[in-house]
Amino acid sequence: MSETIRPGQEPVSTTDEFLKGLWKQNPVFVQVLGMCPVLAVTNTARNALAMGLATLFVLVCSSTAVSLIRKIVPKQVRIVTFILVIATFVTVVDYVIQAISLELHKALGAFIALIVVNCVILGRAEAYASKNPPLRAAADAAGMGAGFTFALLCLGVVREVIGKGALFDVPVFGPSYQEWVVMILPSGGFFTLAAWLLLFNALRQRRARRAAADAAEEVAA
């Protein structure tokens, strides 16, 4: 995690900062960070989306704030400062969700408050926002947040479709579908994430093999 811009290195555009979080450095599938909410609240697609958006908001706000204060925070107390900044924004989100939908607040439970200890957020604050100007930090955070939401949706959709035969509460398989209850239960979360990681691993290995084959061909030719 050392994507600070070094002198002499080609400056990366703000759009690229945004895009890398979506795919190349996806916080869940590539960096394997922030696993707890990924597994815990993805039993339905709706919960997954809500959790993703809440995390996205906290991530963008706290990264911008951390970036703004990066020059006045002494090095020794930076982690504590970051955590307190994050906790403040999480409290805001907690109360906002409670105001919008009490039902959703109940479904997500303590996991909204637990956004504080999501390693993705502290990770971005420490690795990126504390070393870069606000605009870039916000773009980076938005990308990571979007990537995180995407990953949550990947799990939520699979688990809800297989486990409940529905998507966003709309039935997709018809009434005679036998639900796989295990997918809604905790173990289903582990299995689904394992399957996604396997898929990503396989894709990455295939790409590496192809690149190696191409290189070998070039040498031969």
Partner 1 sequence: MNESPFSLFVSACLVNNFVLAYFLGICPFLGVSGKLATASRMGAAVTFVMLVSSVCAFGIHALLDAIGAPYLQLIAFIAVIASTVQLVEMFVKKVSPALFRALGIFLPLITTNCAILAVALFQTNKGYGFVQSVAFAFGAGLGFTLALVLMAGLRERLELAKLPDVVKGTALALALAGLLSMGFMGFAGLGGGAS
Chain residues binding partner 1 by CB under 8 A are 32-33, 35-37, 39-40, 79-80, 83-84, 87-88, 90-91, 94-95, 110, 113-114, 116-119, 122, 182, 185-191, 193-194, 197-198, 201-202, 205
Interatomic CA distance for residues 50 and 107, integer angstroms: 10
Residue 146: CB minimum distance to partner 1, A: 22
Residue 109: CB minimum distance to partner 1, A: 8
Which CB, 5 or 77, lies closer to partner 1? 77
Which CB, 18 or 148, lies closer to partner 1? 148
Which CB, 173 or 196, lies closer to partner 1? 196
Which CB, 93 or 139, lies closer to partner 1? 93
Residue 40: CB minimum distance to partner 1, A: 4
Per residue, the 3-state secondary structure of the chain, as one string, reads CCCCCCCCCCCCCHHHHHHHHHCCCCCCCCCCCCHHHHHHCCCCHHHHHHHHHHHHHHHHHHHHHHHHCCCCCCHHHHHHHHHHHHHHHHHHHHHHHHHHCHHHHHHHHHHCHHHHHCHHHHHHHHHCHHHCCHHHHHHHHHHHHHHHHHHHHHHHHHHHHHHHCEECCEECCCCCCCCCHHHHCHHHHHHHHHHHHHHHHHHHHHHHHHHHHHHHHHHHC
Residue 206: CB minimum distance to partner 1, A: 10
Residue 169: CB minimum distance to partner 1, A: 23
